[in-house]
Amino acid sequence: MKVGILGGGQLGRMLALAGLPLGVRCWVLDPSPEAPARAVATHICADYHDRSALEQLAQTVDVITYEFENVPVASANALAERRPVYPSPRALEVSQDRLSEKTFFQELGIPTPRFRSVDTLEGLRSAVEWIGLPAVLKTRRFGYDGKGQYLIRERDDLERAWVVLGGVPLILEEFIAFERELSVLAVRARTGEIRCYPLVENYHREGILRRSLAPAPRTPSALQERAERYARAILEALDYIGVLALELFERHGELLANEMAPRVHNSGHWTIEGAVTSQFENHLRAIVGWPLGPTEARGQCAMLNIIGEIPKIEALLQIPGAHVHLYGKSPRPGRKLGHVTLCEHSEELLVPQLTALQKLLP
Amino acid sequence: MKVGILGGGQLGRMLALAGLPLGVRCWVLDPSPEAPARAVATHICADYHDRSALEQLAQTVDVITYEFENVPVASANALAERRPVYPSPRALEVSQDRLSEKTFFQELGIPTPRFRSVDTLEGLRSAVEWIGLPAVLKTRRFGYDGKGQYLIRERDDLERAWVVLGGVPLILEEFIAFERELSVLAVRARTGEIRCYPLVENYHREGILRRSLAPAPRTPSALQERAERYARAILEALDYIGVLALELFERHGELLANEMAPRVHNSGHWTIEGAVTSQFENHLRAIVGWPLGPTEARGQCAMLNIIGEIPKIEALLQIPGAHVHLYGKSPRPGRKLGHVTLCEHSEELLVPQLTALQKLLP
């Protein structure tokens, strides 16, 4: 079975690694000659708009997927005329624009922070009137890892926010003083079967995911059920095939949808060692039309990202049960270079390992 | 970190797969253009005696290991003059010859079946007198998967056995009516630290491993301790670095050493999902000089080899929690093409899955 992936970053790399034992070989299309996935997949080094590269990919593989959501929809649509593209390009379209994404959530009855489209400074002023402060001004498109966002705390920030971000379509969102950030990963097979992983508790700093705890500690089953209901609604509305991540805020026992990612997700990396079937394997199983694997957790897990620089590997491996995953990327401030997963039988056993690991990953 | 591997079969492939997330890249030397490891490692396609290929390997990598024990000792020795070779070529020498291997076990006080060197038909007759029948006549060198063996049940078989195997150095071994075949995998770091995996119960048919259960069910801790004592004695006597497998017969509560493999081993494949650290990762950690990882089992596991032909993958993946590993080899009778691992919380949960899997792997 041959799978094409738009994007050859660490997600593409881990997809290809998961595919190898299953007899699934991957081809990645990525403009970077340093694409991390090239170590385990055939690399087509070209721009995402490159017609002949897209044609080469379509000719080679049986099915096509993507590992990041800013793939050009036109390219995905062109490929979809030649080969199955999962998740469908419609999922890309929805998630590439924060306005259409939040509108889509609302149409499905999934609660979100209040939001309003902003195109002018005047529009920003009136959106602030309606939403209140603090509020977050965001570009509607191409935001990731906290980029393209401005937190407006008071009225005086308003013009500065406009200077920084104005000129492209924007959205103003209510700032949520959440208790926790959570995410749910779900996977839908070609048969329509859906499986959900346990809720994950995430901690971001400077807009970048730093740590995930899975299953999210002290989580009532009602919360898990609600998150699964939301994920199912999205998967079914989009006739979605593959893994989807839905990021949520928890506040006063409620869940508010923040955003979705139509792909495998950083908050699911713990599933490699921590779940019966990893998100990467289940995504592949879904898109090639194979049965899904169990999504149960195998213990209490923590995943920490390695960001900016890599500590000495000997020090990381000294921590009993630390599973180290490096992506083969050169260090750069704020760049995700790898992650470490811990998986123990209980939270009590996990805490000392996590404390030791956090000292190495400041 | 760059690791060279003599041999690019499935063991080399799984070593290379384990290395990728740790930043360990592998180069494999293997004469077959179809070497399974080529999908994840750089393949030097050449004979094991090829001096310029050996030189190329030594120039490229930091440390060298091997994935099968019939590597020419002269090649390993030549490489050892240029780069560290682990386990040391001495381990190769001992395990390549059944006579030196069993003699070595005896010198360390490790019980073995009775044995005697055989070089002539007359010698065979007198060995049979001493050992009794049934007994197994084996070539001293290059036997694997039951090849190069002849079971002598009665005196009438004796001349036929000589006709089949005579002409090369032989060994006659007492036939052990064992209760179980077991194996213990152990790993020794450059620091001298040793860790042992739980005993594994193995089932062979036609000389080929079919099934492993790990940890070996209903195994008293005294048996585990004895197996570990034997493994430690071997590792220390050879100043061994890396993973070693010791195959044992259990009879009347005693353990008799059958043979050792100075490498990762088929009866350790369950450790990929079933142990905290896989045998492949621990072998790499040992030879590159990193700390060893925990060897505890994560549950009750079963590993079944896929031999000769591959069932439909959809059927295999239909079994909840079946982890499928294919090696990218073309089907051929008696050939190991892959394996499937099951890992559950208890033997009770394991049995129904195992029953379902055995129906697919006749």
> CB of B25 within 8 Å of any CB in chain A?
yes
Beta strand A336-344 with A300-307: parallel, antiparallel or unpaired? antiparallel
Cα–Cα dist B66/B85, whole Å:
9
Q: Taking all residues of chain A, what is their mean pLDDT, rounded to a whole number?
A: 96
Q: How confident is the model at residue B112 (pLDDT cuts 50, 70, 90)?
A: very high
Model pLDDT, residue B207:
87
Whether the predicted pLDDT of A44 surpasses 80: yes
pLDDT digits (tens, 9 = 90+) for B282-317: 999 999 999 999 999 999 999 999 999 999 999 999
pLDDT digits (tens, 9 = 90+) for A190-228: 999 999 999 999 999 988 999 999 999 999 999 999 999
In a domain, A81, yes or no: yes
In a domain, A124, yes or no: yes
Residue A142 CB neighbours (<10 A): 12
The residue-averaged pLDDT of A53-75 equals 96
pLDDT digits (tens, 9 = 90+) for B305-355: 999 999 999 999 999 999 999 999 999 999 999 999 999 999 999 999 999
Token digits of residue B149: 């063996």
In a domain, A94, yes or no: no
| HEC letters along chain B | CEEEEECCCHHHHHHHHHHHHHCCEEEEECCCCCCHHHHCCEEECCCCCCHHHHHHHHHHCCEEEECCCCCCHHHHHHHHCCCCECCCHHHHHHHHCHHHHHHHHHHCCCCCCCEEEECCHHHHHHHHHHHCCCEEEEECCCCCCCCCEEEECCHHHHHHHHHHHCCCCEEEEECCCCCEEEEEEEEECCCCCEEECCCEEEEEECCEEEEEEECCCCCCHHHHHHHHHHHHHHHHHCCCCEEEEEEEEEECCEEEEEEEECCCCHHHCCHHHHECCCHHHHHHHHHHCCCCCCCCECCEEEEEEEECCCCCHHHHHCCCCCEEEECCCCCCCCCEEEEEEEEECCHHHHHHHHHHHHHHCC
CA distance from start to end of chain B: 41
pLDDT digits (tens, 9 = 90+) for B141-190: 987 666 789 999 999 999 999 999 988 999 999 999 999 999 999 999 99
**C-beta atoms of B326 and A23 within 8 A:** yes
Instruction: Let me know whether A186 and A164 are in one domain.
Output: no
Residue A102 in 3-state DSSP?
Answer: helix
Instruction: Let me know whether A75 and A203 are in one domain.
Output: no
Chain B residues whose CB is inside 8 A of the A22 CB are 313, 324, 326
- Nearest CB neighbour to A325, from listed B21, B322, B326: B21
Chain A residues whose CB is inside 8 A of the B321 CB are 276-277, 293-294
In a domain, B109, yes or no: no
User: What CATH number corresponds to the domain at position B263?
Assistant: 3.30.470.20
Instruction: Let me know whether B156 and B255 are in one domain.
Output: no
- Nearest CB neighbour to B20, from listed A40, A294, A313: A40
DSSP A22: G
Q: Which residues contact B220 (CB under 8 A, 6 or more apart)?
A: none
Cα–Cα dist B327/A21, whole Å:
7
> CB of B2 within 8 Å of any CB in chain A?
no
Predicted model pTM: 0.96
Dihedral class, residue B110 (left if φ above 0, else alpha if ψ from -120 to 50, else beta): beta
Lowest mean pLDDT among A81-90, A140-149, A182-191: A140-149
Instruction: Let me know whether B128 and B197 are in one domain.
Output: no
Q: How confident is the model at residue A144 (pLDDT cuts 50, 70, 90)?
A: low
What's phi and psi for B203, nearest 5 deg? -125, 120
Instruction: Let me know whether A223 and A353 are in one domain.
Output: yes
In a domain, A259, yes or no: yes
Going by C-alpha positions, the residue among B199, B200, B201, B245 that lies closest to residue B225 is: B199
Residue A258 in 3-state DSSP?
Answer: strand
Token digits of residue B164: 């089949």
Complex confidence, ipTM:
0.95
Whether the predicted pLDDT of A30 surpasses 90: yes
Token digits of residue B172: 């006659």
**C-beta atoms of B326 and A22 within 8 A:** yes
- As a dihedral over the C-alpha atoms of residue A136, residue A141, residue A147, residue A153, rounded to 10 degrees, the angle is -10
Instruction: Let me know whether B141 and B26 are in one domain.
Output: no
What's phi and psi for A329, nearest 5 deg? -105, 150
- Cβ pair A16, A43 in contact under 8 A: no
A306 membership: H or E segment, kind and range: strand A300-307
User: What CATH number corresponds to the domain at position B135?
Assistant: 3.30.1490.20
* Number of structural domains chain A divides into: 3
**C-beta atoms of A291 and B317 within 8 A:** yes
What's phi and psi for B351, nearest 5 deg? -55, -50
Model pLDDT, residue B70:
87
The residue-averaged pLDDT of A114-131 equals 96
Whether the predicted pLDDT of A146 surpasses 80: no
DSSP A85: B
Q: How far is A40 from chain B (nearest CA, A)?
A: 6
- Cβ pair B184, B245 in contact under 8 A: yes
Q: How far is B299 from chain A (nearest CA, A)?
A: 10
In a domain, A269, yes or no: yes
Going by C-alpha positions, the residue among B2, B1, B5 that lies closest to residue B43 is: B5
Q: How confident is the model at residue A147 (pLDDT cuts 50, 70, 90)?
A: confident
pLDDT digits (tens, 9 = 90+) for A314-333: 999 999 999 999 999 999 99
- Longest CA–CA span in chain A (Å) reads 58
> CB of B111 within 8 Å of any CB in chain A?
no
Whether the predicted pLDDT of B130 surpasses 90: yes
Whether the predicted pLDDT of A167 surpasses 90: no
Cα–Cα dist B277/A328, whole Å:
21
Model pLDDT, residue B43:
98
Cα–Cα dist B216/B211, whole Å:
11
Q: How far is B19 from chain A (nearest CA, A)?
A: 10
Domain range for A224 is: 180-360
Q: Is A269 exposed, middle or buried (0-12, 13-18, 19+ CB in 10 A)?
A: buried
- Cβ pair B151, B136 in contact under 8 A: yes
Q: How far is B142 from chain A (nearest CA, A)?
A: 29
Q: Which residues contact A187 (CB under 8 A, 6 or more apart)?
A: A194, A195, A196, A242, A243, A244, A279, A282, A283, A286, A292, A295
Instruction: Let me know whether B336 and B283 are in one domain.
Output: yes
pLDDT digits (tens, 9 = 90+) for B194-232: 999 999 999 999 889 999 999 999 999 999 999 999 999
DSSP A276: S
Q: How far is B176 from chain A (nearest CA, A)?
A: 37
Domain end marker among B85, B103, B138: B85
> CB of B312 within 8 Å of any CB in chain A?
no
Residue A116 in 3-state DSSP?
Answer: strand
Chain A residues whose CB is inside 8 A of the B324 CB are 21-22
Interface test with B, best of A310, A313, A337, A340 (most B CBs within 10 A): A313
Identify whether B134 is preceded by a cis peptide bond (ω within 30 of 0).
yes
Instruction: Let me know whether B278 and B299 are in one domain.
Output: yes
Model pLDDT, residue A207:
87
In a domain, A106, yes or no: no
Instruction: Let me know whether B185 and B298 are in one domain.
Output: yes
**C-beta atoms of B290 and A276 within 8 A:** no
User: What CATH number corresponds to the domain at position A39?
Assistant: 3.40.50.20
Q: Is B312 exposed, middle or buried (0-12, 13-18, 19+ CB in 10 A)?
A: exposed
Contact map slice: B 225-284 vs A, CB within 8 A? 276-277
> CB of A339 within 8 Å of any CB in chain B?
no
Instruction: Let me know whether B34 and B164 are in one domain.
Output: no
Locate the chain A residue with the closest alpha carbon to B327: A21
Whether the predicted pLDDT of A143 surpasses 80: no
- Cβ pair B301, B274 in contact under 8 A: yes
In a domain, B92, yes or no: no
Instruction: Let me know whether B13 and B128 are in one domain.
Output: no
- What distance lies between CA B273 and its chain's CA centroid? 18
Model pLDDT, residue B145:
67
Locate the chain A residue with the closest alpha carbon to B39: A40
**% of chain B surpassing 90 pLDDT:** 96
Instruction: Let me know whether B8 and B157 are in one domain.
Output: no
